[in-house]
Amino acid sequence: MPEQYSRRSFLSGVLTCGAVSASAVYLLPGGHRPPPVELRLATGADPTGARKLLMDMWNQANPDTPARFTDEVEGGSGDERTRLLTAARNGSADILNLDVVDIPEFAAQKLITPIRLTDPNFLTSVKDLHQVDDTSNSYWAAPLNTDVGMLFWRDPGTEQPDVVNLSTVLGTLADKGSFVGQLRPNSSNYNEGFLVNILEHALSVNTDLLSATGEILFELKPWQRALQPLQAAIVAGKVNRSSDENASLDTFVEGRPTFMRNWPVKYRELQQRKDPDLLAGKIKVYPLTSGVLGGQSLALARACPHPDQALRFINFMTGTAAQKVLAGHGFAPTLAEAYNDRNLQAVIPHLEALRGAVENARPRPMHPGYRAFAEVFVDHVARMLRGESDLTSEFIAAMKAALA
Spatial contact of 271 and 213, defined as CB atoms under 8 Å apart? no
Rounded Cα distance, 130 and 122, in Å: 11
Q: Are residues 259 and 377 in the same domain?
A: yes
Q: Give residue 7's pLDDT band: very low, low, confident or very high (50, 70, 90).
A: low
Q: Are residues 197 and 226 in the same domain?
A: yes
Range of lowest pLDDT (7-21, 41-55, 82-96, 160-174): 7-21
| pLDDT score for 2 | 46
CATH of residue 386's domain is 3.40.190.10
**pLDDT tens-digit series, residues 307-329:** 999 999 999 999 999 999 999 99
Which amino acid is residue 126, in one-letter code? V
**pLDDT tens-digit series, residues 84-138:** 999 999 999 999 999 999 999 999 999 999 999 999 999 999 999 999 998 888 9
Q: Are residues 232 and 306 in the same domain?
A: no
Residue 73 has pLDDT above 70, yes or no: no
The boundaries of the domain holding residue 236 are: 149-290+369-402
What is the residue-wise DSSP string for 11-27?
Answer: HHHHHHHHHHHHTPPP-
Which pTM was predicted? 0.92
Q: Are residues 183 and 282 in the same domain?
A: yes
Q: Which residues contact 62 (CB under 8 A, 6 or more apart)?
A: 22, 23
Rounded Cα distance, 400 and 402, in Å: 6
Q: Are residues 14 and 116 in the same domain?
A: yes
Q: Give residue 157's pLDDT band: very low, low, confident or very high (50, 70, 90).
A: confident
Q: Are residues 214 and 235 in the same domain?
A: yes
Q: Are residues 230 and 129 in the same domain?
A: no
Ordered strands of the 239-242 beta sheet: 239-242, 179-182, 259-262, 150-154, 283-287
Q: For the chain, what is the largest distance between any 2 Cα atoms, rounded to a whole number of angstroms?
A: 73
Q: Are residues 240 and 285 in the same domain?
A: yes
What is the residue-wise DSSP string for 239-285?
Answer: EEEESSHHHHHHHHHHH--SEEEE-THHHHHHHHTT-HHHHTT-EEE
Please give the mean pLDDT across all residues of the chain. Answer: 91
Residue 77 has pLDDT above 80, yes or no: no
Mean pLDDT over 28-56 rounds to 86
Range of lowest pLDDT (79-83, 144-148, 269-273, 346-350): 79-83
Q: State which of 30-34, 187-191, 321-325 shows the largest mean pLDDT.
A: 321-325
| pLDDT score for 158 | 77
Q: Are residues 153 and 285 in the same domain?
A: yes
Burial of 176 (0-12, 13-18, 19+ CB in 10 A): exposed
Mean pLDDT over 337-357 rounds to 97
Give the CA angle between residues 196, 198, 199 to the nearest 5°: 65
Count of structural domains, the chain: 2
Q: Are residues 398 and 304 in the same domain?
A: no
**What count of Cα atoms within 13 Å lies in the side-chain half-sphere of residue 292?**
28
Spatial contact of 18 and 321, defined as CB atoms under 8 Å apart? yes
